[in-house]
Amino acid sequence: MRTLIASLLLLSSQALLAQKTIYAYAIGNWRNGPTVQMTEVFETTEQFTTEQIMARVKAEYASFKDITDTDLLLFTEREEALNNQKVLLNKYAQRKLAVKVTSTDGKVVDQWPPAGHSVPEVKSPDAPAPIPATKP
């Protein structure tokens, strides 16, 4: 009996130690906007499933309450998560989509275009020149 109890304690302690810290951020309206929403990078553990973390995001971030098009990005290092978020923010800027990164208290931490500016008009370099009107 003692061996069984000792074995169970050993197994349960190993399971608890396996829950490592990870870093994540959520992204909403990421396909087509109109404004892509991102959370700031936050800390969580491997113990929680993606659905549990998204439930936490929807509860803590007011901007995510009504968004259905969401994704969660997970990372092992905080620096990796922050770098990935900056790269993604720049990619959306190239696509001329407005992006807001918000904190749990609703403050905008980062955004594109910068405050006071509007999203530039998209002009495709591959678009054909307009056909001039001709007289019948």
- 91-131: pLDDT as tens digits: 988 888 889 999 988 898 888 777 666 655 555 555 555 55
Whether 126 maps to a domain, the answer reads no
Give the residue from 22, 30, 82 showing the smallest Cα distance to 52: 22
pLDDT of residue 60: 94
pLDDT of residue 97: 86
Whether 87 maps to a domain, the answer reads yes
- 4-32: pLDDT as tens digits: 676 666 666 555 555 899 999 999 998 87
Distance from C-alpha of 29 to C-alpha of 38, rounded to nearest angstrom:
9
Whether 35 maps to a domain, the answer reads yes
Whether 106 maps to a domain, the answer reads yes
Distance from C-alpha of 8 to C-alpha of 2, rounded to nearest angstrom:
10
- 40-98: pLDDT as tens digits: 999 999 999 999 999 999 999 998 988 989 999 999 999 999 999 999 998 988 888 88
Whether 55 maps to a domain, the answer reads yes
H helices of 18-128, in order, are 50-60, 78-94
pLDDT of residue 80: 97
Contact 120, 96 (CB under 8 A): yes
Whether 133 maps to a domain, the answer reads no
How many domains, the chain? 1
pLDDT of residue 19: 82
pLDDT band with cut points at 50, 70 and 90 for residue 34? confident
Domain that holds residue 33: 20-112
pLDDT of residue 16: 58
Whether 64 maps to a domain, the answer reads yes
Radius of gyration (Cα) for the chain, nearest Å?
A: 22
Please check the confidence at residue 33 and state whether its pLDDT lies above 80.
no
Whether 15 maps to a domain, the answer reads no
Dihedral sign, Cα of residue 47, residue 52, residue 53, residue 59 = negative
The whole model's pTM is what? 0.71
